[in-house]
Each structure stands twice: as structure tokens, then as C-alpha cells.
Amino acid sequence: MKKVVSIVTAFAFSFFLLFFVGYRKSEFVILSTNDMHASLDNVARLATAVKECRDTVFTIVVDAGDRWTGNAYVDLAEGRLPMIRLMNAVGYDVATLGNHDFDAGQKVLDGAIDEAEFEVVCANMQTTSELLDDVEKSERIVTPEGVEIDFVGVVTSYANGHPDGNDSNFEGLKFEDPQIVAESEGDESDGDIKVLLSHMGHDRDLALAERYNGYDVILGGHTHRLLDTVVNGTVVGQTQRKLKYVGVTKVKMRGSKVVSIEYENIPLKNYAKDAEVEAQIKEIEANPALQEVVGSMAHSTNHVGLCNLQTKIIKEATGAEIGIYHRGGVRIIEGLPKGDVTVKTLFDNEPFFSQVHLVEMTPAQLRKLIVEKYNDTVNAKEAHVVDLYATTPYRIIVDENDMAYDVAFPRLREGRKYKIAVADYVARNYAHFECESEVRLPLLVFELDRAYFEKNSPVSISNKMLQSVVVRKQR
């Protein structure tokens, strides 16, 4: 009888234990960033936010790509390691790849991943070399309560078979469609919570969530949006750019079941700076060569003015008749104030080590390039805006549906070939770029900018756009 009672008691206790474990409540927080672009201003504040969060709840820190390109203190340092070391100090757990993480080449990226004390995941990238061969498709993190969280990473890819960037940076790599791969990895995952770290843009994130509800959370990047929404039951967030915000995903569980998921973007400016991380940043910024004044602006200029200036500089430096530059290649979106311009400022504005191509093009070839870029269905963030600035004015003619079908050049003669200086990125990567007598000059745009400021300061340039968009019914 006693044996029977003992068995019953043991069974009851086991049942109670399983019931308790299966239904006990727990919670955790995911702190997320994206598109930091080597901005150091708020890293110490982020470190404080992470410490405060980890003092109260189990916390995972993640990043959705583009950790550098945009700050000379990082981009000119050996291996671009300052950013990785700061992320180590903050305490990141997992990150995916962004297109700009390839800007310094695969060898630099591979070395940075080796230096990282966090996991780097990217499911839609395949490599045929030993470089980047330790990048996994996903990473699982388990909370103290046993909740299994799977993080899948993807980076954007286009018709050319790779993310935004120069073709040479992606040799030997293959990038599958990130949405398709995200779905297949989501189906394979058996985690209690599934999180997609996406660097394919908010538009693709939202489209994926609309048709596929395999992820509980999508934390995105690439398009620099401040995003906080729920689509088809999936929480979708993005923290804009340059560490202005940190994404906070609060997850409450009952056993292995989700009770609630809440997302919010929190401004980092409200946090004090962590002393240790701030000291590390000060050491990184102790580079007098970057503070050298090379010239000055005669007046404040906006982003349009900087684009106009860039086209003027490459035109005059090469003896071309026309200078053309893409708006995304001019990185200081807020423009420049009146006053001194330093080496760091120039590099922050053009951090790609771009060269200039000297080509011959007719107005017809220019027209095709501009029309196709305006109507771009592949890289949507560059479409339906004036993307190509030029020293010569032009008007893009669009129909009622905002589709370009013509370009008017008031100062150019049809049929004539013009000598044109064009941005490296445009010549190498834009579809429908057709020209003659193409020569890639051994001239870095950054060095041309520096020489111009040294010779022409104080620099004055118009902030008025020479290009425009006109709506006109197509005949």
C-alpha cells in the first residue's frame, strides 16, 4: 500500500512540476540597432541603456547591419576594428550583415567578424572561399527559464546578385533572395520565438510579414526608417540610423507560449554616457590628422548644395564638360554649416574611396540612364526621386502615375557626344549605363574634394537643385 501511495505521490509531484514549468511566467527584452554607420556619438549612451536593462531583466542585444561607412575615425582605422570593439564593450549578442559592411572588402570584414565577441548571421549568403565561411545562418539564445529564441539574418540582394556596393566587393559570394530564404529558415526553425534580423529594407520586411507569419519579430535596417508596427501578427521595427534610437522589444511568456510582444523606439539622448565606453571613444577620436582644417564654407549648405558641389568638383578636376554624381554618395544629409571644414568632414561626406570615370555620352544615353533609374523597380529607395545630380540642368518628364518617360536637356544638343565625369558607383553599378571611351581615373573623390577646398576656400555653392520633375500626360 505504501508503495502505491509513493508512486501516486511521485506522479502527482511530477505532474505538478511539469505544470509549473509549462505555465510559469517569464519575460525578456531584445535591444536592437541598425545602420549605425560608425556613428560614435551615442554608443556610450547605448552602453548605459544596455546595463540598466540587464540589471532588471534578461536582455539580448542585436544589430541589423551597416556598422560602418560614415565616420573617418572608424573607416580609416586598421580593419575598421574600433566599431567592433565598441560593440564588444556594449555587449552585443548577435548581428546580421549590411551591404556597407562589405565596403572595405571581404578580408577586412572577415577579420572584423573574428574580432567580434558576438555571433554574425546571414542565411542568404554563400561563399566559395575561406573568407566569411564562419558566418552561420542563424543563432539560438536560450533564456534562464529555457525559452529558445532563434535569430535568422538576411541581407538585401538585387538583380545583380548582391547587395548595394561595388561588384568587386562581392566576388566569390552568392546572395539568394532574402525574402525566400527568410521564409525557408523560418519554416525550419523550431524555436519558441523566431526573430528575423533583416537588412533588406522596411518595404521588403513589411511585404514579407504580410504574406508570411512565421516570425514573431522582424528587426530591420537598410532604409533608415523609424518603424514600429504590427503586420499580420508580426512585430516589425527599425531604429532609423546613426544610433539616434534603440529598439526595445519586450516579450512576455507563459512557459514556451507567447503572452505578449511589445516594441518601442527609445531616444538614446535621454541616457547618460557610460564612463568606460566614453573613454574608449575619446581614445579612438584622438587623431589630430583628421582634425586638420583644409578649408571653409562661405555659407551654410544643405544636401542639395553638397551634391551640386560634388558634381562641380569632379567636372573641373577632370576637364569634363559635365559632372554627374548620385545623391546617395553624398553622405552628410544635413549639409555643412558656415566655417571650417576638416579632413574628417570631407571623409564623412565621401567615405567610399570612390574613383571617377571619364566617359563620352550622348543626351540619348543620359536620358535612358535617368529614366530607367527614376523607374527603378529593384532598388526602390532610389526610385521616383532625382537621384542623379549634374552640372547641367534637366527636367524628368513623368506621367500621372509618376513613371518617367522622357528627359529634357535645355543646354545639350541631341546627337552630340559630351565628355562626362561620373561617380564610380554609378558607372559600375547602375543598370542601363551606356557610354563610349570609358576610362577609370586613378583619382579618389576624397582627394579631389580636399584639393578643391585647399585651393578655393571659402567655398560657395548654390543650394538650388538644377534638376526637376515635371508631370505631363504622355502623348
Whether 289 contacts 73, CB under 8 Å? no
At 391, list the grid cell. 552640372
Whether 339 contacts 329, CB under 8 Å? no
Q: What is the dihedral of CA 421, 426, 428, 430, to 10 degrees?
A: -140
At 77, list the grid cell. 582605422
Report the distance separating Cα 258 and Cα 435, nearest Å.
57
At 372, list the grid cell. 530607367
| CB-neighbour burial class of residue 15 (10 A; exposed 0-12, middle 13-18, buried 19+) | exposed
Is it true that the peptide bond before 144 is cis, omega within 30 degrees of 0?
A: no
pLDDT in tens, the chain (475 residues): 444 445 545 555 555 445 455 568 999 999 999 999 999 999 999 999 999 999 999 999 999 999 999 899 999 999 999 999 999 999 999 999 999 999 999 999 999 999 999 999 999 999 988 899 989 999 999 999 999 999 999 999 988 899 988 888 999 999 999 999 999 999 999 999 999 999 999 999 999 999 999 999 999 999 999 999 999 999 999 999 999 999 999 999 999 999 999 999 999 999 999 999 999 999 999 888 899 999 999 999 999 999 999 999 999 999 999 999 999 999 999 999 999 999 999 999 998 889 999 999 999 999 999 999 999 988 877 899 999 999 999 999 999 999 999 999 999 999 999 999 999 899 988 989 999 999 999 989 999 999 999 999 999 999 999 999 999 988 7
Report the distance separating Cα 190 and Cα 188, nearest Å.
6
Report the distance separating Cα 329 and Cα 41, nearest Å.
22
